[in-house]
Structure 1
Amino acid sequence: MAGHGFHVHGPHDHELEHAAHSNDIFSSKIAVMTAIMATVGALLGYEGGATQNTAAMLKNSAAINKTEASNRWSHYQAKSSKQNLAELALLLPASDVKKYETEIERYKAEKDQIKKEAEAFEQRVVELEKASDAALHQHHRWAQAMTAVQIAISLAAIALLTKKKWLEYTSYSVAAAGLGIAAFAWMHI
């Protein structure tokens, strides 16, 4: 049935269609600005989604590194237990002192290396968490900018329907505020 010219659209679409085929400068200007704002809004939405994904990936990497740090600390504890057993074995009569002293030194060296690895993973967790928080903050800025542009588009539609000049200017002002917020997002502020 769509091939027979049947279609349904809302009042805003109807006004835009008429504006495109008329000499009404007011309507034409709002129609063009609405299209521009919609395009800008799509770009802001993309940026918001991208930064949200980045924040999630960083948070996931932090969790993986936290698990690795925990694994290293567990390994450290196991080496400490083995070192303690070797130290206790030294107290036994007729123990092989040289063997256990060598084991104790080996466990100490292994523990030092494991400790460095665990601390490095913990430091990486702190860095990843901080980067994730920054990306999430940036995502919120993109979302705020997108919301402002959506409100500006709605105000433009109302201005088009009511033919109110002050609503047109309000729409442009809100869109400009959205662009200002987008600039903050771009600069990571």
Structure 2
Amino acid sequence: MSEHGFHVHGPHDHELEHAAQHEPEGFAGQLAVMTAILATVGAIFSYMGGATQANAGLYKNNAAIKKTEASNQWNYYQAKSSKQNLSELAVELAPEAKKTFYVDEIKRYKTEKGEIKLAAEKLEAESTEWDHQSDVQMHQHHRWAQATTALQIAIAMAAIALLTRRKWLEYAVFGVSAVGVVTGALAYLHI
């Protein structure tokens, strides 16, 4: 600065001030902003992919637990059937005074078996539903993974486009990015 308050800027100073006051422009600036956006969206997609994969595992575990509970109920049903069969045999072999006891036992076992069968069928249905939910989550996980992969490819292509300064490659970045975002939207919509 001069003593009279007058200051002359050099060309370099002018460019530095201009760069500090304005957003990045042109090819490099556009790719830099696009890469930052892609990285952010890709991180969100990656998180969603991990969450749906974890849910699928939890749901599959719940299905296995319900299947085991149903199996236990069917084993209990089988035990009651065996006892009923023994009581039916006892009706044939027991003296007349004991037959009424075994007939009552047969009725009791039939009633208990009906309740056990309903419980086992309910548990099997729950297991099937958990399996279905797991399959849905895995499908959604695959969509999130596809979307994340497309965005990662677009980010790599953006770096190559920046280094080579090829405009057609920049357009390819936008195209692959669009594929990634659309695939992410499909995952979000459970399609």
Please give the range of the TM-score, normalised by the shorter of the 2 chains: 0.7 to 0.9
How far residue 127 of structure 1 moved from its aligned partner, in angstroms, is 1.2
State whether structure 2 residue 66 is matched by structure 1 residue 65. Answer: yes
Q: Give the TM-score taking structure 1 as reference length.
A: 0.86
1:139 aligns with 2:141: yes
Query: Shift of the alpha carbon at 1:24?
Result: 5.7
Equivalent position of 1:74 in the other structure: 75
Shift of the alpha carbon at 1:123?
A: 1.0
Instruction: Determine if contact 2:24/2:30 at 8 Å carries over to the other structure.
Output: no
Indicate the RMSD between aligned Cα atoms, in angstroms.
Answer: 1.6
Is 1:52 aligned to residue 57 of structure 2? no
TM-superposed deviation, 1:87: 0.8
Counterpart for residue 103 of structure 1: 105
Question: Structure 1 residues 93 and 85 mapped into 2: Cα distance closer, same or farther (>3 Å)?
Answer: closer
CA 1:134–1:159 in 2, change beyond 3 Å: closer, same or farther? same
Distance in 2 (alpha carbons) for counterparts of 1:93 and 1:67 = 38
Please report how far the alpha carbon of residue 125 of structure 1 lies from its aligned counterpart in structure 2 after TM superposition: 1.5
Q: Deviation at 1:25?
A: 2.2
> What amino acid is the match of 1:182?
G
Aligned-pair identity in percent equals 56
Question: In 1, are the aligned partners of 2:69 and 2:123 still within 8 Å (CA)?
Answer: yes
**CA separation in 2, counterparts of 1:42 and 1:82?**
60
Label 1:82 to 1:23 Cα distance change in 2 as closer, same or farther (>3 A).
closer
Moved more, 121-130 or 34-43: 121-130
Q: Indicate the residue corresponding to 1:115 in structure 2.
A: 117
Specify the code of the residue in structure 1 equivalent to 2:45: L
Residue identity in the other structure for 2:80: K
Give the match for residue 185 of structure 2: 183
SS in 2 for 1:59: helix
Cα contact 2:73–2:117 (8 A) shared by 1: yes
| Shift of residue 128, structure 1, vs aligned partner | 1.3
Partner of 2:44: 43
Give the aligned length. Answer: 170
For residues 133-172 of structure 1, the aligned pairs below 5 Å read 133-172=135-174
Runs of 4+ in 1 over 2 A off after TM superposition: 20-25
CA distance, structure 1, for counterparts of residue 94 and residue 66 of structure 2: 45
Hey, what does 1:89 align to over in structure 2? 90
CA displacement at 1:130 relative to structure 2: 1.2
Residue by residue over 1:140-187, the C-alpha shift from the partner in whole angstroms, topping out at 9 and shown as x without a partner, is 000000000000000000001111111111101101110001111111
Q: Which structure has the larger Rg?
A: 2
- Segments of 5+ residues of structure 1 without an aligned counterpart are 1-19
Alpha-carbon distance in structure 1 between the residues aligned to 2:41 and 2:189: 17
Aligned AA (2:119) = E
Secondary structure at 1:188 match in 2: coil
Q: Per-residue deviation at 1:94?
A: 1.5
